Every structure is written in structure tokens, then in C-alpha cells.
């Protein structure tokens, strides 16, 4: 199935690029969405069965596949909306859709891969396809954003490769032949500490560019700001998951070795620094898309804290990622509408949003509570569980520090969101533009309601899958 899926996606991508016709685009995208869902359901039905040697749908991969398939449907829908409102040349449209399809396919393959090298190959492919998306508008600023994104991601992915080579050294000492994750986990205790530490450092640093963590988070910020909003939604959610899965797979290997304590410290440091950096920037940035990009850095920091603390933290981390991947796209889709109304992404130019688009304003108000993890939001549950795990791990001072930082973030977001909703824009009101139909806000409502529902009443199958995903980690 993976083979069919990858070749199908490649074919659809090429056709989208070649056929510069609106009807053909719609049919091909629909075909791809069906293909994506077929893959997801097939892999779910065949849990843990290896296909094509290098792909195994384990629980974590299946969870992220479902998240990707759910997010990609509204992302494609909003791409259509985007192109009806901002007409581009057919060639540029075709390129955009093709890049979206290739991005989806490489993300799916990277989730499913069970080999260190294959993960590398597909994560690199996500960089290449994402760069086409970021460059879509072909202006000076997008060029700058794309250049920085490709360059930092290329350097990071080279770091991951060096990490893989160091793993090879450790693996040869232990007399193992290949780099499949299950084999590595099984033999982790035989691997040399020094090389394992070195490769973890390199691989972790490399994947932070995708996951949006300190130290390499900078690439993602410009990318999410400059990409068209449907692509920004993908970059801010499912692409961050691919960075996480890269880190998680290696973390799982080290969890069976003697350096586990040390890896937890690294994750903890990176998590705290990420939350700190996000707080500092969110208090002063005035561009709504950039604020949300930094909010992603903050949420990944919380995920890392949960992972480092262990215990219930693992469950909370995975749940937090799932919910975050639903909440963030909803916000990005909404920002697309704000940009259409005001022609600007600056907090100063946006105001009194209720007057212009009441559905969108309600989405924004709901999204504020969801993204800051206020009680009806599912993120509240996962964040609370992360805090509980940090408390149980005995890191009281870290907990206090993080809670103080999060308070600042809630304040910063509240100040900006309520300004957009209720207070007049600093400059003149924009003249009344076309009213945005309710149908374009439905997907945002669905995503936000998903976040609330999954948090409050998590489906039994999902809980089982999460527990299966973390079953190999020590308590």
C-alpha cells in the first residue's frame, strides 16, 4: 500500500504541475485526498505490519497519519478559496498544489518509516517541497524567507546525517548490521555511551529545525509567516510533528541505554529555553502569523517538558501534539480571512473584527481559549498532565518558572486577540469589503470542537493507540 500511495502521490503531483486547468486540479486533489485516507485506514487496519521493508505503521505513526489526513482536507479546501480570492497564474497554482501533495506524501512516509536513513530521506523531501510552498508569492520577502528556510534546514539535516554516521560507529562496535529502529532499541544497551550521546546531540539539534525548538527554531518562524495561509497551517502543525517523530524515535532508542537520564536533561533544557524564547517574542511581536509561529515553539517546549519528566508526561506529550495540530491550523485559516478583510497582518491594522465577520470573530475568540489552554480546551487537560508529571518528577522550580512564563504568554495573546476583536484599528477602518460566507469558517469550528472534544472525552481507541505508542518507554 505504501508503494501504491507513494507512486500515486508522485503521479498526481506531476499531473497537477502539468495540467494547468481548474477542473483537472479539483479532480486530482480529490483523488489525492481519497488516496491519503485509504492509506491511513489501511495502515490502521494493518497495525505493526512491515511493508516494503522500510515502512511499519506503529501506533505513533498511525496517530500522526490520522492527524495529517484530517488537517490536509481543510488545507486543500482553503487552498481553493485562496486561489479564488488571489488569482495566480495557472502554472504557479499547479506548482503550489503539486508541492502540497508531495509535502503530504513525504510527511506520511516519514511518519511510517522504520529506518533511520529512510526517515532522513523523507524529512529532507519535506524541506524541499515546503520551500516551493513558501516561495509561492514570489516577492522579495518570500524569497528571503525561503532562502533562510532551505539553508537552515539543509544545515540541520546535514547535522542529522552526521548523527546517523556516529550511530553507525556505535552500531558496528556492537556488531549490528543495520539501522532499523526496533533493532537499535533492542540492542541499545550494547551501544557505546560516547557515540550514542554524540549522535543524540546531532540528531536532536538537526530535527529541532522541523520541530520548532531551541536552537534551530528560527527557520520555521519566517516560513510560517511568509507561506500562504493553507501552507502555513501545514507547516505549523503536521510538519512540526515530523520533527517530533524524528526526535521521539531516537529518544526511544536511548531510553533503553544508560544515557537515558542525560537525554532527559537535554530535552528539559531545550523545552524550557523554547518556552522562554517564545514568551519573550510573543510579548513584543505585532504580526499575528509570527505570534502564532512562536506559540508553536511554546507548545513544542511543553511537549518536551512532558517527555523529559516521564510517567504520565509521555501520554500528555502525545495528546498535546495531536490537539495542537488541530488548533493551530484553525487559527491560520482564520488569519487568511483577516488578511482578506484588512489587507494586513499587523495587530495595529486589525480591529473591531466582530463588525466585519462575525463567524470569523467567534472562531478567533474560541481559538484564543483553545490555544492558551483555558479549561474547555483539550490542551488544558494535556498541559495539566504535563505539569503533573513535572511535579511528580520533583522539578518544582522548573514547574514554577514555566507556569510564570505561560502566564505572560496568556497575557500577551489576550492583549492581542482582544484588541483584534473589540478595539478599533489604529489606522482608519478598511472600507467594507466582501462579506466572508459562513461556509469558509466551518472547518475552523470543526477543528476547534475536535480539540475540545478529544480533550474532554478522549475516544477509547485513541487512548489505546497513545498507550501503545509509549509502551516501549520506561515508566
Partner 1 sequence: MINILLIAFTISLIYIAMANRLITYIRIIVFQGLILFGVAFIELIEINPANLIFVLLETIIIKAVAIPYFLRYILERNKITREQEPYVSNFVSVVVVTLIILGSFFLTYTVHETHIRKLFFIVALSALFTGLYIIITRRKIITHVLGYLVIENGVFVLSLAVGSTMPMIVNTGILLDIFVSVILLGIFADKIGDVFEEQDVEQLRSLKD
Rule CB under 8 A: which residues touch partner 1? 54, 115, 117-118, 120-121, 124-125, 127-128, 131, 135, 140-141, 143-148, 150-151, 154-155, 157-158, 161-162, 165-166, 168-169, 171-173, 177-179, 194, 221-222, 225-226, 281, 284-285, 287, 290
Write down the least CB distance from residue 183 to partner 1, Å: 11
- Which residue number, 66 or 200, has a Cβ lying nearer to partner 1? 200
**Least distance in Å: CB of 284 to partner 1?**
7
Q: Which is nearer to partner 1, 172 or 189 (CB)?
A: 172
Tell me if 105 sits within 8 A of 31, measured CB to CB: no
Q: Are 149 and 138 in contact (CB under 8 A)?
A: no
Rounded least distance, CB 374 to partner 1, Å: 26
DSSP code for 190? G
Q: Nearest distance from residue 353's CB to partner 1, in Å?
A: 23
- The number of beta carbons lying within 10 Å of the beta carbon of residue 457 is 9
Query: Residue 368's closest CA among 405, 337, 412, 336?
Result: 412
Give the bridge partners for 113, in sequence order. Answer: 55
Degrees (nearest 5) of the Cα angle 15, 16, 22? Answer: 125
List of residues 6+ apart from 310 with CB closer than 8 A: 264, 389, 393, 473, 474, 475
Min dist. Cβ of residue 460 to partner 1 (A)? 38
Secondary structure of residue 55 in the 3-state scheme: strand
Closer to partner 1 by CB, 127 or 264: give it: 127
Closer residue to partner 1, CB minimum distance, 116 or 240: 116
- Measured from the CB atom, the residue of 18 and 52 that comes closer to partner 1 is 52
- Minimum Å gap between C-beta 419 and partner 1 is 18
- Please state at what angle helix 229-236 crosses helix 238-254, rounded to 10 degrees: 10
End-to-end CA distance of the chain: 35
Residue with smaller CB distance to partner 1, 298 or 440: 298
Amino acid at each position: 500500500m505504501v508503494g501504491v500511495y507513494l507512486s500515486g502521490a508522485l503521479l498526481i503531483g506531476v499531473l497537477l504541475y502539468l495540467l494547468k486547468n481548474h477542473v483537472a486540479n479539483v479532480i486530482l486533489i480529490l483523488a489525492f485526498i481519497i488516496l491519503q485516507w485509504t492509506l491511513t485506514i489501511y495502515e490502521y487496519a494493518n497495525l505493526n505490519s512491515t511493508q516494503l521493508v522500510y515502512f511499519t505503521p506503529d501506533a505513533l505513526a498511525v496517530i500522526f497519519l490520522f492527524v495529517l489526513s484530517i488537517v490536509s482536507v481543510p488545507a486543500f479546501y482553503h487552498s481553493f478559496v485562496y486561489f479564488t480570492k488571489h488569482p495566480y497564474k495557472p502554472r504557479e497554482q499547479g506548482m503550489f498544489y503539486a508541492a502540497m501533495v508531495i509535502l503530504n506524501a513525504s510527511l506520511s512516509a516519514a511518519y511510517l518509516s522504520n529506518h533511520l536513513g529512510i526517515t532522513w530521506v523523507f524529512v529532507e523531501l519535506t524541506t524541499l517541497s515546503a520551500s516551493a510552498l513558501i516561495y509561492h508569492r514570489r516577492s522579495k520577502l518570500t524569497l528571503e524567507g525561503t532562502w533562510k528556510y532551505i539553508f537552515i534546514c539543509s544545515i540541520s539535516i546535514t547535522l542529522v546525517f552526521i548523527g546517523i554516521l556516529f550511530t553507525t560507529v556505535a552500531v558496528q562496535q556492537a556488531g549490528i548490521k543495520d539501522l532499523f529502529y526496533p533493532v537499535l532499541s533492542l540492542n541499545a544497551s550494547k551501544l557505546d555511551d560516547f557515540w550514542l550521546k554524540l549522535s543524540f546531540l546531532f540528531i536532536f539539534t538537526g530535527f529541532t529545525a522541523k520541530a520548532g525548538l531551541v536552537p534551530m527554531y528560527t527557520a520555521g518562524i519566517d516560513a510560517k509567516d511568509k507561506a500562504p495561509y493553507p501552507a502555513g497551517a501545514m507547516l505549523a502543525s503536521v510538519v512540526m510533528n515530523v520533527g517530533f517523530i524524528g526526535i521521539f524515535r531516537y529518544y526511544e532508542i536511548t531510553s533503553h541505554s544508560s544515557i537515558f537520564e542525560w537525554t532527559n536533561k537535554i530535552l528539559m533544557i531545550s523545552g524550557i529555553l523554547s518556552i522562554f524564547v517564545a514568551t519573550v517574542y510573543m510579548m513584543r511581536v505585532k504580526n499575528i502569523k509570527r505570534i502564532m509561529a512562536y506559540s508553536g515553539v511554546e507548545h513544542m517546549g511543553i511537549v518536551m517538558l512532558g517527555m523529559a519528566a516521564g510517567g504520565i508526561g509521555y501520554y500528555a506529550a502525545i495528546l498535546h501534539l495531536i490537539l495542537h495540530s488541530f488548533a493551530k491550523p484553525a487559527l491560520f485559516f482564520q488569519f487568511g480571512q483577516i488578511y482578506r478583510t484588512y489587507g494586513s497582518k499587523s495587530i495595529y491594522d486589525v480591529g473591531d473584527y466582530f463588525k466585519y465577520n462575525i463567524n470569523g470573530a467567534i472562531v478567533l475568540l474560541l481559538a484564543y481559549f483553545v490555544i492558551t489552554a483555558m479549561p474547555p480546551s483539550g490542551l488544558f487537560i494535556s498541559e495539566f498532565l504535563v505539569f503533573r508529571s513535572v511535579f511528580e518528577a520533583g522539578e518544582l522550580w522548573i514547574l514554577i518558572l514555566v507556569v510564570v512564563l505561560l502566564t505572560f504568554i496568556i497575557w500577551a495573546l489576550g492583549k492581542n486577540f482582544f484588541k483584534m476583536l473589540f478595539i478599533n484599528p489604529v489606522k482608519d477602518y478598511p472600507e467594507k469589503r466582501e462579506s466572508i460566507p459562513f461556509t469558509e469558517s466551518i472547518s475552523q469550528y470543526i477543528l476547534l470542537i475536535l480539540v475540545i472534544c478529544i480533550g474532554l472525552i478522549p475516544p477509547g481507541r485513541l487512548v489505546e493507540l497513545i498507550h501503545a505508542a509509549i509502551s516501549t518507554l520506561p515508566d
